[in-house]
Amino acid sequence: MSKGVERGEKSIIHRCRWCGAQPLYQAYHDDEWGNPNKSESELWELFALETQHAGLSWWTVLSKREAYRKAFRGFDPLLMSQMDDVDIEQLMQNAGIIRNRLKISAMIHNAERYLSFCQQYRSFSDYFWGKVGGKPIINVYQPEALSPITTPLSDEIAKELKKFGFKFFGSRTAYAFLQAAGMVYDHLAECDLSADKIAD
């Protein structure tokens, strides 16, 4: 993590308003969201989960993350790509995940696309971090300001990945992914992890 976004040892008291008061959401905010992540397996898992987020709150997906890991074979992309219609029918009966046939099918389809993508671009880590020049884009917000929903960069990424065949990964989802993976550092001014508060 670059010097400007190092996290201190103190307990987080003020957080970005979106994480509310739920302990699981707060822990995700404090320990994961916005923390630069270059782990290929974790980035693929995050990507897959973000596609389930479309049209729903992130909390809905986060609260089901462990169930998704079990249902989708530990997010091993090769094993996921081998899932078939029988697996889809079983997943549609799994109350631990979001039972949307299109999203379930897209998850399997995207695993196939991911394997092809890595043959061309080597890895998600190389591709996405290359888009931000190898280090986080650090945003400093004024009080009461909110982060954007999309940016020209997320538009660009969404278009490129759509051409590559990925599904359920539009510009909003792309920007949420960049934020979550720490490629864009978007903690708000109200938060103890805002860039202006931890730069010193």
Q: Which residues are catalytic?
A: 28, 50, 58
CA distance 28 to 38: 17
CA distance 177 to 172: 9
Nearest alpha-carbon partner for 43 in 188, 154, 178: 178
- Token pair for 39: 């782990």
Using CA atoms in the order 99, 82, 172, 182, what is the torsion angle rounded to 10 degrees? 110
CA distance 122 to 171: 22
Using CA atoms in the order 55, 170, 139, 41, what is the torsion angle rounded to 10 degrees? 90
Nearest alpha-carbon partner for 6 in 128, 133, 138, 130: 138
Residue 121 has a CB neighbour count (10 Å cut-off) of 15
CA distance 84 to 104: 11
Using CA atoms in the order 114, 120, 122, 124, what is the torsion angle rounded to 10 degrees? -40
